[in-house]
Structure 1
Amino acid sequence: MSLVPPGRLAGRYLKSLAATRDRLSAAAFVDSLPWEEREVLKAAVGGVTTATAPELVSSIGQDYMALVRPRTLIGRLQHIRRVPFRTRSIVQIAGATGFWVAETRNVPVQMSTFSQLQSLPMRKVAAVSVVSEELARSSDGEAIVLRDLAAASVAMMDSSFVDPTSAAVSDERPAAITNGQPTVAASGTDAAAVRADIKALIAIYTGDLGTGVFMMTPRVALRIALLLPNDVNVRIDIEAGTGLLFGMPVLLSSAVPGTVIALVDGAAVQLAGADSAELRVSREATILMSNTPDTGAPARVSVFQTDSVALMGLVSVNWQLLRAGAAASLTGVAY
């Protein structure tokens, strides 16, 4: 078991580039510090590419994802089906059935039924963080420069994965697994309403309850626990981001809409990617300070002029729901 915290290599890589003016200076900066990863980082900041040293570039991206992935819903969701990008796959719709057979009688046979799924093209979640040069050079800069970038990646992946209003955008992003799936409106705000609403949510959900999981914000989960203080089947651990609700596991994320509780069959989710990332650093960029940079006339900020550093993390990921009804949402939650 490694005692090195996840993300340390990626954080030091970003700091080395953010705290210096060029790659030659970055290599000298790394060499001056008592880091265990000096040789790896010196090669990385020296300008290697996926063509010259794919294992090295990959190790830094994988280290970044080792920090990000366990914080995401897709990283914590059990039973999820992983596939490569752009690879055709099939899903079993109806399986073989066993029969009781009398002595000397023929054994009945039922054919299994399969359906071909669409392959998952590569999609990218990009997060940009701008920090001052002084902050990048600070003693704890490696943790600081990585923290906001990782948090932005987690928040975008989680909200895009479970928000029922998040529709697919052609050639840009997949639909949330709850988008276009069954929904039911919450009925009230007291303990009786919680029980009635969860019962109604289960009624419209057609996935496997054995591999199902509730997803909600920590605030909603805590309010449910306060409404049902004596129910032994309700346990919430805010710090761990998990819990138990009526015997079923709960995953917590602040990126889930605050008025939504989702019920998702992990075995009915197909995932590609989310295992590595590309990290970039720039001192010369001009940043469009907007979350819709392709529309309007957002303010432009020169990273060079403000003595700042721009950091970017690109995560390749895509997903799809394998069966209709294997995800359902309770909306209008006001507990």
Structure 2
Amino acid sequence: MATYAEQIAAFEAKRASNVAAMKSLMDEASEKGETLDAEAQDQFDELQAENESVDKHLTRLKSMQSLDAQTAKPVSGDTEKSASESRTPTVHAKAKPPKAAPGVAFARVAKVKALSRLDGETPREVAKALYGEDSEVFGHFVKAAVGAANAGSAPWAGNLITDGGAFADFVEFLRPMTILGKFGTGNIPGLRRIPFDVPILVQETGGTGYWVGEGKAKPLTSWTTSRTKLEPLKVATIAAVTEEMLRRSSVDADMWIRDELASAVSARIDTTFIDPAAAAVAGVAPASLTNGVTPILSSGNDADAVRTDMRALAAGFRAVNNTTAGAVWIMPETTAEALSMMMNPLGQPEFSGITAEGGTFLGKPVITSEYVPSDYEADSGGNPGVTGAVVALVKASDVFFADEGGVAVDFSREASLEMADNPTTASDTPTGGSMVSMFQTNSVAFRAERALNWAKRRAASVQVLGNVNWGD
């Protein structure tokens, strides 16, 4: 193959030849005192177009020649091996490490920071030892330029919220695990997001409009509102991990830490968000969307009863001049699965589009969760002992939601924990309890916190169906 220099010389000669031919055509017309005839015009235009193409190609050739010169290396032919290599250059490809599973990078960053504190080494050194210099985790700490860890440095064990890509990856992993996270994804409308501590008006009752004849007095209307704001409330969990597990660099160990952090946070959020028994605790936790809502009792278990129940829920919205536009179904996975298996006399699905994972039900999106009560007694007064699932119809735009957008993770080996999911100890009113030392048991405590809050824009934002046993 010709070198770049030889190709450039050939095209420059071609260009010069075309220019000479174009000049000859113009000189001939000038001698006659005429313009170019049709044939000469075509020849001139063809030569001019060809030169434009040659000029562009020359630019490309010269660019490649310059790049080739920059990457050229002197040839050493002193030995048989070097002479052979110079004639057949070898490009060594470096394999890119595979991308970690969703959320694992966040768990690895947390683990590296914890081990850094335990061992008194920089996070960069720990990341290099565990995952190598080519890993995503090591690259994170190189960019972050984290200083050496020490027990007296308060900011050291700060929130992982600043850990950019790793945190975003964890949030994306956490999102489909929670009811809250599914709002605003796919065909599911989003909640009405607002900042923390900003006053908002909550509508208690609506107004009424009137038709008025000419010259007649206009009737007055009134509505009631209340003023409130969403303060940041914390949902927190603590999980203990042995140092042996922490020091393992296997993917399984990293995924275990990730799953523990994610499931602990998501379980409490979902339970509080939808369980009718979850009442508000001032300054601690918000009420669930279904708390305080008088449930409509399911009328039966077959397909006709399902339709009757749906009409009753929709009527609850319309009774207060609200619509079901933008509403979302929230139900247990078992209830959605029962609906998907209902068949009509022709053997076709009675309610197509719904599965245990969600889908659509009667044209509206469905969110399923294992934390929606499936054995709840909705009418203890009239029908004591009768239980069933809870199905909620939530108008997304009528629910205020505030979220800091982060998960704060801290860790400690010096802590002593009350190993229970219902601890009785407190610092404001000290009480005794059985404690386990993290230091004594070679363990590390991970504490995950998320600040968020929600509130219904109006009481009729949610309708609830109780004692649901469809398909039984």
Residue 126 of structure 1 pairs with residue 236 of structure 2? yes
Correspondence for 1:182 = 294
Correspondence for 1:272 = 402
Q: CA deviation at 1:40?
A: 4.4
Residue 89 of structure 1 pairs with residue 200 of structure 2? yes
Among candidates 152, 159, 180, match of residue 74 of structure 1: 180
Cα 1:54/1:235, change in 2 over 3 Å: closer
Greater gyration radius: 2
Distance across 2 between alignment mates of 1:328 and 1:263: 5
**Residues 409, 447 of structure 2: 8 Å contact kept:** yes
Structure scoring higher RCO (CA < 8 A, sep ≥ 6) equals: 1
**Residues 329, 391 of structure 2: 8 Å contact kept:** yes
Residue 308 of structure 1 pairs with residue 308 of structure 2? no
Structure 1, residues 14-56: CA drift from partner, whole Å, max 9, x if none? 2213445245254421133232223246628846839x99983
**Residues 70, 76 of structure 1: 8 Å contact kept:** yes
More moved, 277-286 vs 311-320: 277-286
Alignment of 1:79-118 (within 5 A): 79-90=190-201, 115=225, 117-118=227-228
Correspondence for 1:235 = 353
Distance across 2 between alignment mates of 1:316 and 1:228: 44
C-alpha RMSD over aligned residues: 3.6
Alignment of 1:190-201 (within 5 A): 190-201=302-313
Distance across 1 between alignment mates of 2:314 and 2:148: 52
Distance across 2 between alignment mates of 1:187 and 1:250: 21
Distance across 1 between alignment mates of 2:190 and 2:364: 14
Among candidates 12, 15, 29, match of residue 111 of structure 2: 15
**Residues 234, 284 of structure 2: 8 Å contact kept:** yes
Correspondence for 2:245 = 135
Q: CA deviation at 1:91?
A: 5.9
2:280 match: secondary structure: coil
Residue type of the partner of 1:330? Answer: L
Percent sequence identity over aligned pairs: 29
Residue type of the partner of 1:305? Answer: Q
Distance across 2 between alignment mates of 1:175 and 1:166: 6
Residue type of the partner of 1:252? Answer: T
Structure 1, residues 130-177: CA drift from partner, whole Å, max 9, x if none? 222222222112221011210121111111111111100111000011
1:134 match: secondary structure: helix
**Residues 407, 448 of structure 2: 8 Å contact kept:** yes
Among candidates 334, 352, 355, match of residue 219 of structure 1: 334
1:171 match: secondary structure: coil
Among candidates 257, 262, 281, match of residue 411 of structure 2: 281
Q: CA deviation at 1:122?
A: 0.7
More moved, 90-99 vs 313-322: 90-99
**Residues 174, 266 of structure 2: 8 Å contact kept:** yes
Residue 333 of structure 1 pairs with residue 468 of structure 2? yes
- Report which of the two has the higher share of helix: 2
**Residues 159, 409 of structure 2: 8 Å contact kept:** no
1:319 match: secondary structure: strand
Correspondence for 1:147 = 259
**Residues 160, 409 of structure 2: 8 Å contact kept:** no
Residue 35 of structure 1 pairs with residue 135 of structure 2? yes
Correspondence for 1:323 = 458
Distance across 1 between alignment mates of 2:464 and 2:159: 45
Distance across 2 between alignment mates of 1:153 and 1:117: 30
Q: Unmatched 5+ residue regions in structure 2?
A: 1-98, 184-188, 375-388, 426-430
Residue type of the partner of 2:270? Answer: D
2:146 match: secondary structure: helix
Distance across 2 between alignment mates of 1:278 and 1:54: 6
Distance across 2 between alignment mates of 1:67 and 1:248: 25
- Alignment size in residue pairs: 326
Cα 1:31/1:328, change in 2 over 3 Å: same
- Report which of the two has the higher share of strand: 1
| TM-score, structure 2 as length reference | 0.60
Residue type of the partner of 2:239? Answer: S
Distance across 2 between alignment mates of 1:184 and 1:117: 29
